């Protein structure tokens, strides 16, 4: 992209970060009353809201019922005011449907669905402000919301996007970096065992670089998991204090 | 305590009535007391104006996006405002995904009527050049958590977001006839009037409560929303069916709505002042 240097000679990115530095993550759990679990997460300037209902009876078509596990229903949508240009079709378009499917697959790998046969867990994620890394912010927010709802999971699910510029992996890209052309790899990881829940990359990458990129992505996700863990412990402390002895 | 909760699930109407007899409500409020209202102005930087309002547990986010367009042919010197209320499935377990809920559509129409009747913004102010260019403000109101009293919350969110909106300066290049937008020079919109709504629910034609929660709304025999502005004028009155209400009770409600208007305006002004610092 003419004029925009994603990585300067001194190793600084457009917003002043180093190549392995993540954006600031701030999150709060239990923000809504009606939902069983909810979380609000800010990753840099991307704001995601996740709400979980369940486990409850399967609604809608009875054909969806699984006799041995819970069905997970995910819906991803963006607020019309979340992008610089007003988004005319916030849900139902192909990108949103694809994201919803990815989220569903990610959480099916993490949630212990065999504990809730014949029931349904709904995960709704909404992006209120979009500045790159939408999928990662959604997964991180949804993890916190599922924990807030008390639904057991194998591990935290942490996600991060990484790019590759000038032979250097860039962790946690914002919108300008994502649209600058070049590789975008999204990784959702279960950090303790190093297990990959979802891996997606659309762009060309030489296979020699794949290992470096994967390493960088895993390190970034582990960084995210530390932040999420801190948020959960903080929330628990506050709740314990509020409910008394 | 467990017995109490089963009473609430088994016979919600009797449960609520037992409180109303003592002139109070299950959450400890008086009959004419509103829930705590909190306001967060300007949380979303990608929108031209935004606000997040919570009345009790009901949370509503409003985002304003401004676009340039040609004015409508029947009113060539006016811009326009397009409100849209959305109740996504995340706001309550009773809503399912699919086409917009009827409640959301009815609310959108109500907000459009309030904008029209209260003249919250003079549409002439949105016109940049007659017949050629005007602003269109898309007001997207999204309910994030629903616990009754959607309309009041939406109106406050809309007002706060409009007060927060900054529009860039637009000039039309005389030679090329192309609009030039100067994003560095932003100015707030002129808010003409400040409408604020108050919602009421009626039980059995006798007891009127203010600011019903989700449970109270579903058990009430009638609901009503009144919108007043700062001059004490009535902008809108919405009473969709339900049991009849006497004129005297209606006057009492109008009085309560006027008091509510003052409370909310003080809150909004306080927040805006604190943001300027």
Percent of chain B at pLDDT > 90 equals 33
Region of poorest pLDDT, from A14-23, B77-86, B176-185, B216-225: B176-185
**For residue A1, what pLDDT band results from cuts at 50, 70 and 90?**
very low
Report d(CA B224, CA B110) in Å as an integer. Answer: 12
pLDDT for the residue numbered B98: 54
Q: How far apart are CA B18 and CA B24, in angstroms?
A: 9
- What's the pLDDT at A4? 62
> What pLDDT was estimated at residue A146?
96
pLDDT, position A54: 82
Q: Which residues neighbour B276 within 8 Å (Cβ) at sequence distance 6 or greater?
A: none
The pLDDT of residue B11 is 85
Residue in A35, A49, A82 closest to B46 by CB: A82
Chain A residues near residue B61 by CB distance under 8 angstroms: 79, 128
Q: Reply yes or no on whether the pLDDT at B91 is more than 50.
A: yes
Mutate to test the interface with B, among A49, A53, A74, A86 (most CBs of B within 10 A): A86
> Cβ of B44 and A81 within 8 Å?
yes
Domain assignments of chain B as residue spans, ordered by start: 32-276
pLDDT digits (tens, 9 = 90+) for B27-81: 888 888 899 999 999 899 889 999 999 999 999 999 999 999 888 888 888 888 9
3-state secondary structure B109-149: HHHHHHHHHHCCCCHHHHEEECCCEEEEEEEEEEEEECCCC
Q: What is the pLDDT of residue B155?
A: 94
Closest residue of chain A to B61, computed from CA coordinates: A128
Give the closest of B43, B65, B93 to A34, CB-based.
Answer: B93
Each residue of B10-19: pLDDT tens digit?
888 888 888 8
* Average pLDDT estimate for A209-228: 93
Asked if A137 reaches chain B (Cβ–Cβ under 8 Å), the answer is: no
pLDDT tens for each residue of A11-68: 888 888 888 899 999 999 999 988 899 999 999 999 999 999 989 988 777 788 889 9
Range in A74-83, A207-216, B102-111, B123-132 with the lowest mean pLDDT: B123-132
Q: Which CATH number applies to B32-276: 2.40.128.30, 3.30.230.70, 3.90.950.20, 3.10.20.30?
A: 3.30.230.70
Q: Do A56 and B91 touch (CB under 8 A)?
A: no
Q: Is A34 in contact with B45 (Cβ distance < 8 A)?
A: no
Mapping DSSP onto H, E and C, the string for A84-143 reads CCCCCCCCCCHHHHHHHHHHHHHHHHHECHHHCCCEEEEEEEEEEECCCCHHHHHHHHHH
Separation of alpha carbons B203 and B15, rounded Å: 13
Domains in chain A, please, with CATH?
Answer: 25-243 (3.30.230.70)
Note whether B34 and B260 are within 8 A (CB).
yes
Q: Which residue of B has its CA nearest to A123?
A: B90
Scanning the structure block, which residue is given the tokens 């367009």?
B69
pLDDT-based confidence at residue B100 (cuts at 50, 70, 90): low
Average per-residue pLDDT for chain A: 89
- B170/B56 Cα distance (integer angstroms): 40
pLDDT tens digits for B139-155? 999 999 888 899 999 99
Residues of A in contact with B50 (CB under 8 A): 81
pLDDT at A227 over 50: yes
CA distance A204 to chain B (A): 31
Judged by a CB distance cut-off of 8 A, whether residue B87 touches chain A is no
Write out the two tokens for A14.
Answer: 């457009």
A26 part of contact set with chain B, CB < 8 Å: no
């Amino acid at each position: 992209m003419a004029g925009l240097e994603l990585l300067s000679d001194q190793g600084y990115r457009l917003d002043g970060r180093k190549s392995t530095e993540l954006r600031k993550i701030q999150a709060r759990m239990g923000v809504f009353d009606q939902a069983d679990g909810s979380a609000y997460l800010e990753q840099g300037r991307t704001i995601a809201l996740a709400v979980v209902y369940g486990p409850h009876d399967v609604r809608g078509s009875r054909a969806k019922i699984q006799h041995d596990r819970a069905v997970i229903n995910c819906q991803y949508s963006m607020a019309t005011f979340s992008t610089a240009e007003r988004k005319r079709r916030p849900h139902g378009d192909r990108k949103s449907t694809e994201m919803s499917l990815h989220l569903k697959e990610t959480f099916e790998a993490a949630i212990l669905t065999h504990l809730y046969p014949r029931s349904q867990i709904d995960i709704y994620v909404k992006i209120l402000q979009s500045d790159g890394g939408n999928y990662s912010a959604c997964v991180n927010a949804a993890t916190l919301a599922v924990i807030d709802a008390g639904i057991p999971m194998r591990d935290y699910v942490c996600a991060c996007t990484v790019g590759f510029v000038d032979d250097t992996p860039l962790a946690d890209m914002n919108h300008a970096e994502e649209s600058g052309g070049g590789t975008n790899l999204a990784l959702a990881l279960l950090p303790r065992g190093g297990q990959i829940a979802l891996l997606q990359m659309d762009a060309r990458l030489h296979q020699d670089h794949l290992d470096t990129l994967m390493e960088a992505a895993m390190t970034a996700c582990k960084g995210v998991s530390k932040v999420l863990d801190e948020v959960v412990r903080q929330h628990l402390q506050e709740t314990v204090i509020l409910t008394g002895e | 305590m467990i017995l109490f909760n089963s009473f609430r699930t088994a016979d919600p109407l009797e449960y609520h009535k037992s409180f109303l007899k003592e002139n109070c409500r299950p959450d400890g409020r008086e009959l004419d007391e509103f829930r705590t209202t909190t306001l967060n102005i300007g949380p979303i930087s990608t929108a031209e104006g935004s606000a997040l309002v919570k009345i009790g547990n009901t949370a509503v986010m409003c985002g304003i996006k401004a676009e340039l367009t040609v004015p409508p042919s029947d009113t060539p010197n006016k811009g326009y405002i397009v409100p849209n209320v959305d109740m996504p499935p995340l706001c309550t377990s009773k809503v399912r995904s699919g086409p917009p809920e009827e409640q959301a559509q009815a609310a959108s129409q109500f907000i459009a009527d309030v904008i029209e009747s209260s003249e919250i913004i003079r549409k002439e102010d949105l016109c940049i050049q007659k017949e050629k260019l005007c602003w269109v403000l898309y007001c997207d109101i999204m309910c994030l958590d629903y616990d009754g009293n959607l309309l009041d919350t939406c109106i406050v969110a809309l007002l706060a977001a409009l007060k927060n909106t900054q529009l860039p300066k637009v000039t039309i290049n005389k030679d090329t006839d192309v609009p030039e937008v100067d994003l560095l020079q932003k100015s707030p919109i002129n808010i003409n009037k400040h409408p604020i709504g108050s919602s009421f629910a009626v039980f059995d034609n006798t007891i009127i409560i203010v600011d019903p929660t989700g449970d109270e709304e579903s058990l009430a025999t009638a609901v009503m929303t009144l919108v007043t502005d700062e001059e004490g004028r009535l902008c809108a009155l919405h009473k969709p069916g339900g049991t009849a209400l006497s004129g005297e009770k209606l006057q009492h409600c109008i009085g309560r709505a006027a008091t509510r208007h003052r409370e909310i305006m003080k809150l909004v002004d306080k927040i805006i002042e604190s943001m300027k610092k």
